[in-house]
Amino acid sequence: MIENAAFDGVRPQAGLSAAQVVYEVIVEGGITRLMAVFAGEKADTIGPVRSARDTYLEFASELNCAYAHAGGSYTAMEAIPNFKLRDLDGLREPKWFWRDSSKYSPHNLFTKTDNLYNAIKDGHSWTDAPTYSVWNFVDDDKIMTGEAANEVNILFGGSYDVNYTYSEEFKAYERKNGSVNHTDANTGKTLTARNIIIQKVPAGNFIEGKGRVNFSVTGEGEVNIFRLGKMEKGTWKKADRLARTQFFTTDGKEIPLARGNSWVEIVPEGYSFDWK
């Protein structure tokens, strides 16, 4: 779990460019948070690591992955045992994490992929490999359908608005957050997404006060998928909390994705996005 609050010392975050998938969801007061999924790429610094939230448990469960976080909301911490997640809490197991004294707490907890892999192998002996359904990745020349979409805007609000602009050079979308190039602190380079997956979901339920909100990402709904400067509409489906979210065309075929990384944007009712 990675912080995305527009506070001093948070952005640019470290390690996001090494993630295979990044999920972005509103967590409270219009603030979004990120869940980065690492599957082989190395990152020497990842963070700031932040707390668990309910909606993300659904995505972590479908990947059957180790879930690294720093504590969590009351409802999320209560739910983690029920989800049977491979739980890696940085507040309970600090040996795999460190604090950066140049930054303010709680936005100063970091880890790295080597620590996470060692925690999985040595700290917990989670030796069985995660099992999950793989999305429909294809070579670029197999992606033929979709309307032109060279720019994508997601209006989360103010410093949390997201803009993606397609780059022919990288064959990927370059990301801005709050109208500023969103970079990786490890590399200094702008983050890119080969695939942008926008899932429309119902309005959320407020929990625990403090403006915290939870969204239902089980069931089905509309999806817009952007890759290679093209957009394709369809339906997302997730049968239950353990099932992988999948994406289908209007005639029931699985939507092809470009090989490479993906950003999954959860856009609830009441928020908007556009493309051109």
Any idea what DSSP says for residue 255? P
What tokens were used for 159?
Answer: 């410093």
**Percentage of the chain exceeding pLDDT 90:** 84
pLDDT at 178: 95
* pLDDT higher than 90, residue 226: yes
What are the tokens at 275?
């493309």
Q: Reply yes or no: is the peptide bond before residue 94 cis, omega within 30 of 0.
A: no
* pTM, two decimal places: 0.96
What's the confidence (pLDDT) of residue 108? 96
In the chain, what are the domain boundaries?
137-194+220-275
Give the span between the Cα atoms of 67 and 57, in whole angstroms.
8
Residue 222 has pLDDT above 90, yes or no: yes
* Per-residue model confidence (pLDDT) at position 208: 65
CA 74-88-177 angle, 5° bins: 75
pLDDT at 180: 96
pLDDT of amino acid 209 = 65
Residue 13: Cβ within 10 Å count: 26
pLDDT of residue 29: 85
| HSE toward the beta carbon, residue 82, CA cutoff 13 A | 9
**Percent of the chain at pLDDT exceeding 70:** 98
CA-nearest of 31, 65, 80 to 210 is 31
pLDDT in tens, 129-165: 777 889 999 999 999 889 999 999 999 999 999 999 9
pLDDT tens digits, 10-37: 999 999 999 999 999 999 889 999 999 9
185: helix, strand or coil: coil
More confident: 195 or 241: 195
The residues that bridge with 225 in the sheet, in sequence order, are 197, 232
pLDDT digits 0-9 by tens, 49-98 = 999 999 999 999 999 899 999 999 999 999 999 888 899 999 999 999 99
Q: Which residues have a Cβ under 8 Å from the Cβ of 154 and sit 6 or more positions away?
A: 161, 162, 163, 198, 265, 267, 271, 273
Question: Mean pLDDT in the chain?
Answer: 94
Assign a CATH topology to domain 137-194+220-275: YerB-like fold (3.50.90)
Look at residue 166 in the predicted model and tell me its pLDDT.
Answer: 99
Alpha-helix residue ranges (DSSP H) falling in the chain: 54-63, 74-83, 113-118
205 pLDDT band, cuts 50/70/90, is confident
Instruction: Give the C-alpha separation, 78 to 256, whole Å.
Output: 36
Residue 246 has pLDDT above 90, yes or no: yes
Higher pLDDT: 105 or 129? It is 105
Mean predicted confidence (pLDDT) in 257-275: 98
